Amino acid sequence: MNSFLDNLRSGFQPAILILALLVAGCSTTEALQPSPAVVTNFAPTSKHAVIVVDANNGNTLFQSSATATRYPASLTKMMTLYMLFEAMGQGRVSLATEIPVSAYAAARPPSKIGFRAGETISVQSAIQALCTKSANDVATAVAEYLGGTEDQFAAQMTARARQLGMTGTVFRNASGLPDDAQRTTARDMALLGIALRSRFPNQYAYFSASEFAFRGKTVRGHNDLLGRVHGVDGIKTGYIRASGYNIVTSVQTDGRRLVVVVMGGETARSRNAQVEDLIARYLPAASRQGGGLLAMR
């Protein structure tokens, strides 16, 4: 796995090459290439971007504006969680660690859990709140705890993104709240989704939850594809006005695996409908070979 992370530094295409080599045990693999197929049911907008990746071999089955600059919105929290999972692996925090919530973090706008300054949240509850509720107050609290300040943490997020080959991504905060300088691409988000499942298989199940219990209440999430579309097992939605409705989706069934990214949907419903359409179109064409990038250990 260290080899996987080291080799991701050179960019997305070499990263997928290394992933596929590690999984398949072969000496070469097909680099990510766009499919000539076109999805015609959904009219693109200036915010729109799509990529569908076969997660068993790393091949791109479809893409549209996949390397165009877009706002990540709450997809940003995928990297916040990556950094938190990494801190757990390094022994810097445990699931029981209590993270303090500053006045600044408590004042972040919704979506949020709702804290008073000086309260705390455990790492386990923080993970659940980020994956399921997409809580902005929790994202800022995690950033301040791990990075000292949110600005410093965002710089660390960007540095890690570069190491993962996410060459089109810059983070300015941990939540995805509006910032004109915060940017990403659909291709980068696909790579991050693959890296999360590959690097942190034991934590990935958090992305599959549609609700969690906190302080005696049930907190429900935003990902309506979970439990409704066969094979979908995560991972993250996002929305701000500048981005439109974003989603990174993992689906696996009958040995076939896809990572689908749709950005810039006009509504959550239309975005979800496009994801369903893409799954129906491209999952039958996905490979059953390679053992699954998303299941790498």
Q: Which CATH number goes with the domain that contains 54?
A: 3.40.710.10
| Rounded Cα gap, residues 209 and 66, in angstroms | 27
| Rounded Cα gap, residues 221 and 113, in angstroms | 12
CB neighbour burial string for 53-65, b if at least 16 within 10 angstroms, e if fewer: bbbbbbbbbbbbb
The yes-or-no answer on residue 47 being catalytic is no
- Determine how β-strand 60-64 pairs with β-strand 98-100: unpaired
Tokens 């896809």 sit on residue: 258
pLDDT tier, 222 (very low <50, low <70, confident <90, very high otherwise) = confident
Q: Stretch 275-286: mean pLDDT, rounded?
A: 96
Question: Two tokens at 51?
Answer: 């990529």
How many structural domains are present in the chain? 1
Confidence (pLDDT) at 46: 84
Residue span of the structural domain in which 166 resides: 2-295
| Rounded Cα gap, residues 160 and 257, in angstroms | 25
Between 76-89 and 150-163, two packed helices, what is the crossing angle to 10 degrees? 90
| Rounded Cα gap, residues 295 and 284, in angstroms | 19
For 144, residues 6+ apart whose C-beta sits below 8 A from its C-beta are 102, 104, 105, 150, 153
Q: Annotated catalytic residue: which of 74, 111, 125, 175?
A: 74
Binding-site residue numbers for substrate are 236
For 209, residues 6+ apart whose C-beta sits below 8 A from its C-beta are 128, 131, 132, 221, 226
| Rounded Cα gap, residues 178 and 136, in angstroms | 11
Residue 175 has, within 13 A of its CA and on its CB side, a CA count of: 26
Binding-site residue numbers are 236
The DSSP 8-state label assigned to residue 101 in this structure reads -
Phi, psi of 59 (to 5 degrees): -75, 140
The yes-or-no answer on residue 74 being catalytic is yes
> What is the distance of C-alpha 12 from the center of its chain?
15
Are the beta carbons of 261 and 250 closer than 8 angstroms?
A: no
The mean of the pLDDT values for the chain is 85
Q: Stretch 138-148: mean pLDDT, rounded?
A: 98
For 232, residues 6+ apart whose C-beta sits below 8 A from its C-beta are 225, 226, 249, 250, 251, 279
Which is nearest to 126 in space by CA: 64, 219, 43? 219
List beta partners, residue 51: 63, 261
pLDDT tier, 290 (very low <50, low <70, confident <90, very high otherwise) = low
Confidence (pLDDT) at 53: 96
Reported as a single tens digit per residue, the pLDDT across 232-247 is 999 999 999 999 999 9
Residue 226 has, within 13 A of its CA and on its CB side, a CA count of: 20
Predicted structure pTM score = 0.83
Are the beta carbons of 174 and 134 closer than 8 angstroms?
A: no
Q: Annotated catalytic residue: which of 65, 111, 125, 134?
A: 134
Dihedral, 131, 278, 71, 232 alpha carbons, nearest 10: 0
Q: Which of 54-58, 102-106, 220-224, 288-292 has the lowest mean pLDDT?
A: 288-292
Residue 109 has, within 13 A of its CA and on its CB side, a CA count of: 5
Reported as a single tens digit per residue, the pLDDT across 55-78 is 888 899 999 999 999 999 999 999
The yes-or-no answer on residue 287 being catalytic is no
